[in-house]
Structure 1
Amino acid sequence: MMTNLFSVFDPMSSIFNLSMNWISTLLGLFIIPFLFWVMPSRWSMTWSSLMFTLHKEFKLLLGVNFSGLSIIFISLFSLIFFNNFLGLLPYVFTSSSHMALTLTLALPLWLSFMIFGWYNNTQHMFSHLIPQGTPPLLMPFMVLIETISTLIRPGTLTIRLAANMIAGHLLLTLLANTGPSLTLSLLSFLIFTQILLLTLEAAVAIIQSYVFAVLSTLYASEVN
């Protein structure tokens, strides 16, 4: 029973004192392997085509030296993609709306990029702090601004994904709660609006997983 508007994001539901909501995060891992054992279908061919397109794009962004890393970002895209879509199903916990998951994905990636870059390409990393053509008088301020922008990157990745997933679900919940008090004509309009919002949320689920993976790829390409 939902006690307040944010109960839909409550991760504390349990069965036999075991928190079962986070299991939805792993459901995609049980779906993907079967694609390698079944006969070719439209679904498997579409998914393979999507992964190949992402591989080419990430390989182009990463460059020749780090092209093998594209598989990491494809896996990251797939994980977020499945979790975002599972969150659109009724009574399924939206794990990608919690910073516990999004920060767990963003922070280790960013930290590993920073450690690798500063250890192997120290001079290159220092050059990133001062954009080309900066006047000498503005250099100290540019170093400060670039340092802050670099440090907040995992936070922006985390909040962007979580906030976008929360916003749409809250709007759907708010509109659904007004249903019992509406007339039949208004209820029909509400259902039509909910369908449109659900379609929009499906698009947001795809876009946000793509944005998260692309931004992570761009951050990785800067340390090369």
Structure 2
Amino acid sequence: MLGSMIAAIAFVTLIGLLVLFQLSLAFGAPWGRFAWGGQHPGVLPFGYRIASGVSILIYGFIALLALDRAGVTDVFPNAFSTVGIWVVFGYLTLGVVMNAISRSKPERYAMTPVALALSMLALLIALSGPAEESFAGMVFDDGDGPVFCTTIMESYPPQCGADSPSITGWDWPAVEHEQSQTIRWGEYRFRGEREGNTISVSGSPSPLQ
């Protein structure tokens, strides 16, 4: 977890430098030899400057996706960020190839190492396990195993919606809870890793105040 967070921070730092570079190109910096195949060595034509502006948005999305996958932020569903970071890795690997075969020597020598570093960092993030998340709400167990309630039907004892994810690593004797015959429940705050429809608990849950 810590390793993927460090990789994500390094990744976003490099992305930030590329954002500044593309922003400079968009505003007329004479660095065209380092971008877009080096076709325009000085100030980029208007169309290419617009493309540099669009690339900033793409970089921003990629950075947010990497942070989400590493658990630094919680913006996208886990399944989306898991698949998305592999798409990003493929995109960046293609960028390594395109920079390496560029006709512009400045672009080849300056941008290929950057693209390679980004690609390797994206791979590290993609290979990491599911991001740890924070959960708060009702945990319910009717005898078939604990679940984290996504919806709660008011009754006694309460009932959870059918789409509630199951929980592994939950220890009822270790937490205060209510019980009616074989049914146990309580409201807690805890951290865990969600993969599909299963949450693996990490650390000790605490009751919601």
TM-score per shorter chain, which class?
Answer: 0.3 to 0.5
Q: Whose helix fraction is larger, Structure 1's or Structure 2's?
A: 1
* Structure of higher RCO (CA pairs closer than 8 Å, 6+ residues apart): 1
Scaled by the length of structure 1, the TM-score of the pair is 0.31
Please identify the structure whose Cα radius of gyration is greater.
2
Scaled by the length of structure 2, the TM-score of the pair is 0.33
Q: Whose strand fraction is larger, Structure 1's or Structure 2's?
A: 2
